[in-house]
Each structure stands twice: as C-alpha cells, then as structure tokens.
A and B are shown apart, each in its own frame.
Chain A
Amino acid sequence: MTVSARAERDPLIRITDLSKFFGSVIALQGVTMTVYPGEVMCLLGDNGAGKSTLIKTLSGVHKPSQGEIEIEGRPVTFNSPKDALDAGIATVHQHLAIQPLMSVTRNFFMGREPTRGWGPFRTFDLAFAETTVREEMQKMGIDVRDPSQAVGTMSGGERQCVAIARAVYFGAKVLILDEPTSALGVKQAAVVLRYIAQAKAKGLAVVFITHNVHHAYPVADAFTILKRGRSYGTFRKSELTREQVLEMMAGGQELDALEAEIKEFTRSDGDGGVAPQTSKTVRREQGVKP
C-alpha cells in the first residue's frame, strides 16, 4: 500500500502523544500511532516496553495521563473496558476472557445472550446461540464438535479463536490481540494468524501485540516498535526486514545475543511447537536488557 492510498482513508484509531504515568514511573511517553481499517498493526517491544500499558489504555483499563485517543476521528474517553467495547474496541487478552468450565456457546454469548420470549419468562435462546457459534467458528475453519462442550476441552489455538470470533461477531471495529500466539505451537499459531488475516480482509483494524517477529511478520502491514515506554516510530512492512525489526526490538547493542536468539528461532521454527518459549528463555538466560 502506498502512502498516498493510505492518506485517502480515515484512520480508525489515532493515538496522539499518549503518555501514562504510574506515580513516578513513566510507563508510556509521547506515543503516537495510527491504525487504518483493514490493516494489521504489529506492536512490538521487549518486556517492559509499554505494550501492555498502551493496549490497556486503548481498551479502557487505564486512563491516559496525557494525550488523546481518537476513534474514527472522534476523541474518546473510556471509563471502563465496557466503554471501549461499546466503541468497537475488542481486546483479546493473554488471559482470555473465557471460562474453561463453561460451554463454547455460553462463553461466546456471555453478557450478550440472545433471548426469546417476554418479560419474566424471557429465556436464553440456546438453540439460536449454538447454531450461531457453529457457523461463526466454521467461518474460521474450526468445526466445533459440540457447542455445548466445555471450552476447557479445546486446544489453546481454538480457545483464542473462540475469543476472536466472539469479538468479530459482536461488531468489533478494532481487534486488539495481546500475545495471542505466545503460548501456542506452530500449527496452532498458524490458525490464529490465518484468522487475523481474515479479520483484516473484513475491514477490521487489528492491533497485534507480540514478542514473536516470526508470527508478526507474515500478517503485519505496519510495525510500531516500543522501547522503554517510547515509540521508535511506525514503519511500513516494505521498509523493514525481519532482522531489522528484531534488532530494533532489542535495541541494537546486543547484536551478539540476538544472533544467538535468531539462530534459536530458525532452528525451532523447523521442529515445531517450541519456538516462542525457547526464544524467551534464551533471551532471559542471556540477560538481554535494554
């Protein structure tokens, strides 16, 4: 996508000069980011870079200390995650808002149950709900064996997909995915990534937070790189290679450590399933600090 083509469209989210302080701690300082509909913005950064603070601010958990958030050109203030949800910002957290002991259907419609009937005899329309869940999950290429099965019996990737499908079904315009692939094996991550691509094709704006450049790179249109609470800026995918992204995430000085990490990445990409965990361990063991 060229710069001029982007300029013709209105951004879905525009964050201007956003800062968040917790007491004397500067969690975010002057972050500016713009996300367009039908685009995947990858938010990259090492631990403590401020990714979580930024998305928590976007999803209504925190109020910004300074700066502004605009949704479709209108400045917004969120007092609760519910406000953000109502404005069309759906967040799928690392800790999913999914109850493992409840059925897929009951989870999917939690808080927004379709009803049938009237007055005190209004009932939760489970038949409609189950059909809908089956259809929505089918669209993602997941055949829900039994919508009344407990979510706990599903794999990690399927659970992520339930949470994402729910957000999309309930009319999210912006999908914030907080490390959706970090706990998943390669094949499971692929399912989630494919669904991110589908959401993008539907015209949603996706903010995809991850540690894992190899998950981010294939689906991303742009990268915003955070480091120690500040933004390194936003880059189009065409401007960066994988290796450059990785380098910026960690800060350039620790190239030696990174090289080892990259080797670890490429090696474990091949044998499947352990990539994210291994890379984190390596990073920690080698003491890469910004």
Chain B
Amino acid sequence: MSTTVSDERLRAVSPWRKLLSRPELGAVAGAVLVFIFFAVVAGDSGFLNFRGVVSWLEVSAQLGILAVAAALLMIGGEFDLSMGSMIGAAGMVIAIPVAEYGWPVWAAILLAFAVALLIGYLNGTIVNRTRLPSFIVTLASLFILRGLTIGATRLITGRTQVSGLKDAAEADPLARLFIGDIFGVPVSVYWWVALAVIATWILLKTRPGNWIFGVGGDPEAARNTGVPVNRVRIALFMGTAVAATIFAALQVLDFGSADVTRGVQKEFEAIIAAVIGGCLLTGGYGSAVGAVFGALVFGMVQQGIFFTGVNTDWFQVFLGAMLLIAVVFNNFIRRRATEAK
C-alpha cells in the first residue's frame, strides 16, 4: 500500500515484462517461430519465393478479415458462430440477383451488405433481449442461415451452386474492389491490413473502443457508468456479419461462382485466430493486431504443410494443438496481468 508521494515499492519494470503483458505477444512470437520453421523445412520447395509468400498471405488475409471482426466481438464478450453461414448466405445474395435476375453486380453487393447489417442487428438484438449466451444464439443462427441459404437457393435456381458471374464482375466498378491483385498482391491482403488498422484504431484510440473493453469485462458495470452496452454489442455483431460478407465478396467475385457450402467452419477458424492472437474467451481483453498475427500463423501453417510435402490431412492436428497452446499461454499472460501486488 503506497500512501506517500514517492513510492518505495515502485521498481523499474523491465521492457521484457512490459512486453509480456501485451495480448498480441503470443501470436507475434508464434508467427515468427512458424515462419522460421517452414522457412527452414520448406524454404527450398517454394515457401519463401514470391508465389509461395503470396499463397500463404492470401489464406491469412481472408481468414484475417474474419478474425479481426471476431476479435473485436470477443473482446466485447461475445461469439459469432454464424459467421461461416453468413459467408454462404452473402455469397448467394450477391450471386443470385446477378445470375438469375440480371441485377448489376454493385447493387447485389450493396444488397449483401444490407442483409449482413440486418443479420448482425438481429443477432445482437436477440443476445441483448434474451440475455442468453451468444454462443447459443449464434449457434442457432448458424443453422438457420445455412438452411435458409440452401433452401432458398435450391428453390430459386434448382441447384446449390450459382456460376457465371465472372464477366459481369470484371466489368463492375464496385466489384473491382474485390477482384485481382495490386502490385502482384491479392486485394484481400489490402482489405486485411486496412480492416486491422481501422479495428486497432477504434479499439485503442476512440471512445467506442474503450466501451468494447468495458462491455466485455463487466457489462453491468459498463452500463452503470453510461456505456450504451446494447448498441455496442449490436455494432460488434454487425461487424462480424460485414466481415463475413467481405470474405464472401472476395471469393464469389474472384471465382465468379457461389456455393451454398462456402464458409463452413470459418467461424471456428476465425475464433481460433483471435484466440491465438490473445483474445480471452471471457472477454474484456485482446487485440486486433493479435488476430492479424493469429491469422498469419494459421495461413503459414496451412500452406506451409503443403510446401513441406507432408499430407495436408495433418493440418487439423496442428490447428488443434496450436489452439491449446495459445489458450494455455493466454491464461498465463492473464495471470501475470492481473496478479495483485
């Protein structure tokens, strides 16, 4: 207990200790280790050349877009398991109006984002109103959305795949944002970086960012100090749905086709990346930068295994093991950050 101006117990904290208390430390260290590992093991077989780097960057980028939004939501204390289904749904909302009804692609993209905002709003509102865990609420939306996508697509088109968008997409001004490369780097990488920068800025530099931490840490306490808890939650759920739609637009417009099964299990991958990135499952702690590195670890392992020539069936083993290590490490960090002196 310090009661005097000069605190005799104030000691110099080493930069190492300070670094240890950053949420993204684990993911950054993990990313470096994974990179070194594959650079050594698979450096000769293409992991390090330009095409190789682009391949794992693109995988990381697409997941990273989801992971950044998932991380914000997790810091706000909630999960969105419907992200994967939202990808499939958004893909169809873009593809069907264009392929079946001759809509311009930009209009279909805007419609998809509008639908995403609505679904995010619904998820958030249901969580707010029922006070049920978002795990359950969005587990329900996972199935409802996927089912609706499959049902409606088959009803309208008679199939579960819609293709033939490529030419229309390439001529469309808005769709250009989701197609191709800039300086040889896929646009998804730019989306990833831009979203991560925006998310980090919101989280660390704005009032709503402070609210996100507050809502995740203790919603009642936050509410009592005047934080609009319900609005924050709804905005975060809208964020994950929009991220899923960006992911869907990138895939659908690039391939020129949509499939009702797109995005299966992506919700888990996004949560894994966020957790590797230092987000606590209990909320109130984490970072968007961490999620970026979490996604990077994910992409490097997924593509790295391919370059090593090991059967890619083993990827999921790595994934599960990484998740476990990340959670154990995060718990250790949290204890360090909160242990009372």
Contacts and interface: CB of A to CB of B under 8 A. Distances in A.
A87 interface: no
Interface string B327-341: 000000010011111
Contacts of B6: 143
B167 to A, nearest CB: 37
B221 A106 contact: no
Nearest to A129: B210
Contact of B214 (A99, A100, A124, A146): A99
A146 B7 CA distance: 12
B284 interface: yes
Interface residues of B, number: 37
Contacts of A111: 211, 214, 222, 225-227
Nearest to B207: A113
B340 A154 contact: yes
A9 interface: no
B10 interface: yes
B210 A100 contact: no
Interface centre among A141, A153, A157, A187 (most CB of B within 10 A): A153
B39 to A, nearest CB: 35
Given A142-B2, A143-B2, A153-B340, A110 B222 contact: yes
Interface string B304-341: 00000000000000000000000000000010011111
Contacts, number: 108
A138 B207 contact: no
B4 interface: yes
A124 B214 CA distance: 14
Nearest to A59: B224
Contacts of A240: none
Contacts of A138: 5
Contact of B221 (A97, A126, A143, A153): A97
B217 A113 contact: no
A47 B205 CA distance: 44
Nearest to A170: B225
Contacts of B340: 152-156
A152 B206 contact: no
B30 interface: no
B128 to A, nearest CB: 15
A141 B4 contact: yes
Chain B residues touching A, majority SS: loop
B221 A152 contact: no
Q: Considering residues B4, B206, B211, which has the most beta carbons from chain A within 10 angstroms of its beta carbon?
A: B206
A110 B227 contact: yes
A101 B210 CA distance: 12
Interface in A144-184: 145-146, 150, 152-158
A201 interface: no
B284 A101 contact: yes
A143 B10 contact: yes
Nearest to B228: A111
A115 interface: yes
B132 interface: no
B3 interface: yes
B213 interface: yes
B161 interface: no
A16 to B, nearest CB: 26
Contact of B1 (A82, A97, A109, A158): A158
A146 B18 CA distance: 11
Nearest to A159: B340
Contacts of A282: none
A85 interface: yes
Given A112-B226, A141-B3, A142-B3, A97 B218 contact: yes
Given A97-B225, A99-B284, A122-B206, A150 B337 contact: yes
Interface string A106-148: 1001111101000000111010000000000010011101100
B290 interface: no
Nearest to A152: B338
A199 interface: no
14 contacts: A85-B226, A99-B284, A101-B280, A101-B337, A110-B214, A124-B206, A142-B2, A143-B7, A145-B10, A152-B337, A152-B339, A155-B1, A158-B2, A191-B1
Interface of A: 81-82, 85, 96-102, 106, 109-113, 115, 122-124, 126, 138, 141-143, 145-146, 150, 152-158, 187-188, 191
